Amino acid sequence: MKRSILLVEDDMLMREFITDYFIKEQWEVHEAENGRLALEIFERTSVDLIVLDIMMPEMDGWSVCRRIREKSDVPIIMITARAEDDDQVMGYELGADEYVTKPLSPRVLVARATALMKRTEGTIGREGDMLVYGDLLVNRMAHTVSVADNTINLSPKEYDLLLFLTRHYGKVLPREYILDSVWGYDYLGDLRTVDTHIKKLRAKLGDEGRYIGTVIRAGYKFDMEA
């Protein structure tokens, strides 16, 4: 099945370079050089994925992402020249699915786009009632977790944390973002709260705790390759 992408990038050479790689991998590519044009194309064209630069004329990537998320859950990869945590947190809060920093490799970008589509299409786990990762089973309806058919007793916050990590499968999540999202912006604790709960969660999941990876100086990531 041929997938379609909306590529939003104001640098013409970079846009053409990325487009060539996607076309080689049998993607249909729709190009936009600014945020306003991107929204116009999005309104009249069905796409499977959006690759969205942040710094653009007329309307920046933040605004485009926010507008799209008001109407659609289409997967979004955001691109930026800045590698700061605040930018990543902003992107995730607006609903971005992936975050890539420049300079980037178009070949790696295509690979990440393909992997994101596989996750979205349900080939890894499922965003339904049952989430399955190896021997780890999360029943979202019953609020239960089991490993190799053995029920794991998690505290409510440990369960919320696990669900949050799986919901963002494959993403590197800054500890600040995890704390704000799982515990709330008004929580008075510090980042050690996240580290402590991650440690306890890994221990309770046993061998399947290996899916919760630590990304040094960045945060945590739930990934079966972690």
Lowest mean pLDDT among 61-75, 92-106, 141-155: 92-106
Tell me how far apart the alpha carbons of residues 27 and 48 are, in angstroms, rounded to a whole number. Answer: 10
Tell me how far apart the alpha carbons of residues 177 and 93 are, in angstroms, rounded to a whole number. Answer: 8
Tell me how far apart the alpha carbons of residues 35 and 44 are, in angstroms, rounded to a whole number. Answer: 15
91 pLDDT tier (thresholds 50, 70, 90): low
- Hey, how many other C-beta atoms are within 10 angstroms of the C-beta on 148? 11
* 18-55 residue pLDDT tens: 999 999 999 999 999 999 999 999 988 888 899 999 88
Helices (H) and strands (E) in the chain, counts: 8, 11
123 pLDDT tier (thresholds 50, 70, 90): very low
- Edge-first strand listing for the sheet containing 76-80: 28-32, 4-8, 49-53, 76-80, 98-101
**Residue 138: burial class (beta carbons within 10 Å; 0-12, 13-18, 19+):** buried
Tell me how far apart the alpha carbons of residues 208 and 9 are, in angstroms, rounded to a whole number. Answer: 39
pLDDT greater at residue 64 or residue 71: 64
Tell me how far apart the alpha carbons of residues 207 and 216 are, in angstroms, rounded to a whole number. Answer: 21
Tokens 């990543």, located at residue: 88
pTM of the model: 0.56
Can you give the length of the chain in residues?
A: 226
126 pLDDT tier (thresholds 50, 70, 90): very low
